[in-house]
Structure 1
Amino acid sequence: MPHIALPAPIPGIRGLMETKPASGRRLSELAEQLLRGESPLSVGERELIAAYVSARNGTRFCTGAHGAAAAHALGGDFALVEAVRQDVTTAPVDERLRALLMLAGQVQTGGLAVTPADIERARAAGADDESIHDTVLIAAAFCMYNRYVDGLGAITPEDPALYDEMGEALVAKGYLG
């Protein structure tokens, strides 16, 4: 149950953003830039990073929505998204993506948890500076989004089918639609 009065019973972050539309628009623009803008990382990889960080933060709404978006962007591979959530070290992803996901996990722990060894692991696995930058920024932003959603007690549906619909819509329309 939300901790504040919402203008409409809209689930997740969208409902919260309705209370402050100007801020909400900027948060949506940031998500659009991070997850859909120019990047050496695919949309699916970026959504997977967002879902992974959200899962580590225990934010059910964002884990569900971005996990479904990642799966849809990755050709419907829900099993891959679940495997990453369960154990990134054994998930069936390439070593570059594994290193970037592990880097995102360090950012989720705290910015100072990122070490030169984490960066070197990503570089050794084939990540360039832009991929490393984008990973860190997505992970940091999703810590903020997750805290916003959980801190205000956003409406969090239980039905997995709703998240599937949200994920499909995010992939098709992005964050400004």
Structure 2
Amino acid sequence: MPHIHLDSDLPGIRGLMTDRPDTAAPLNALADLILRGPSPLTRGERELIAGYVSERNATRFCADTHGAAAAAQLDGGAAVVEAVRHDLDTAPITSLMRALLRIAAEVQQQAAPVSDEAVAAARAAGATDTHLHDTVLIAAAFCMYNRYVSGLATTLPTEPGYYEEAGRRITAHGYAAAV
């Protein structure tokens, strides 16, 4: 049961945003920018970072929503997302993506500079300053989104296929239209 009264019965961040359109607008604008705006990372790769951070934060709603959005946009789909969740070291992703996910994990773990070793590994795999910037920003933002969703004890969806539909909706329309 959520810690606050929500007028809607929508799960996760959707319920919070429906009740608070004043805060939803900037949060959705940020999500659209960092997950769908210009970047050397594909939209699917950015969704994978968001889902990975959310998984590490044990925020089921966000992990499954962004995992589904990643699956809808990545070659290999849900199998790739599940492989990353299960074992980053053996997941069928590029060395660059693996290095960036390790950076995202460091950001998720603590508010401190990313290690020089993680940055060097990412650069050796081909990361540019923009790759590093976008990865750290996505990871930091999703720590905030995760804490918003988890901190208020939002509900999880009960409908079968909810996350797959959310992934399709986000892929087609982005976040401003996702509420």
TM-score range for the pair, normalised by the shorter chain length: over 0.9
| Partners of 2:94 and 2:31 in 1: CA distance | 25
Q: What residue identity is the alignment partner of 1:4?
A: I
Distance change >3 Å, CA 29–CA 128, structure 1 → 2: same
1:61 corresponds to which residue?
61
Q: Residue 13 of structure 1 aligns to a residue in which SS?
A: helix
> How many residue pairs were aligned?
177
> Which deviates the most, 50-59 or 150-159?
150-159
Q: Residue 8 of structure 2 aligns to a residue in which SS?
A: coil
| Partners of 2:31 and 2:41 in 1: CA distance | 15
Q: Is the 8 A contact 1:64 1:160 kept in 2?
A: no
Displacement after TM superposition at 1:20 (Å): 2.0
Q: Residue 166 of structure 2 aligns to a residue in which SS?
A: helix
1:90 corresponds to which residue?
90
Q: What stretches of structure 1 move > 4 A for 4+ residues in a row? A: none
1:14 corresponds to which residue?
14
Distance change >3 Å, CA 126–CA 156, structure 1 → 2: same
Distance change >3 Å, CA 160–CA 113, structure 1 → 2: farther
Alignment gaps of 5+ in structure 1: none
Q: Residue 161 of structure 2 aligns to a residue in which SS?
A: helix
| Partners of 1:67 and 1:31 in 2: CA distance | 15
2:176 corresponds to which residue?
176
Q: Residue 44 of structure 1 aligns to a residue in which SS?
A: helix
Q: Residue 163 of structure 2 aligns to a residue in which SS?
A: helix
Alignment gaps of 5+ in structure 2: none
Q: Residue 55 of structure 1 aligns to a residue in which SS?
A: helix
Displacement after TM superposition at 1:18 (Å): 2.2
Displacement after TM superposition at 1:17 (Å): 1.5
Displacement after TM superposition at 1:174 (Å): 0.4
Displacement after TM superposition at 1:113 (Å): 5.7
Distance change >3 Å, CA 160–CA 104, structure 1 → 2: farther
| Partners of 1:50 and 1:92 in 2: CA distance | 18
Displacement after TM superposition at 1:161 (Å): 1.1
Q: What residue identity is the alignment partner of 1:46?
A: R
Within a 5 Å distance, the mapping from 1:36-115 to structure 2 comes to 36-75=36-75, 77-112=77-112, 114-115=114-115
Question: Which whole-Å deviations, capped at 9, do the CAs of 1:117-158 have from their partners, x for residues lacking one?
Answer: 111111010010001100000000000000000001112125
2:127 corresponds to which residue?
127
| Partners of 1:76 and 1:156 in 2: CA distance | 26
1:139 corresponds to which residue?
139
Percent of residue pairs bearing the same amino acid type? 55
Displacement after TM superposition at 1:176 (Å): 0.8
1:34 corresponds to which residue?
34
Q: What is the root-mean-square deviation of aligned Cα atoms in Å?
A: 1.2
| Partners of 1:154 and 1:9 in 2: CA distance | 10
| Partners of 1:131 and 1:160 in 2: CA distance | 35
TM-score where L is the length of structure 1: 0.96
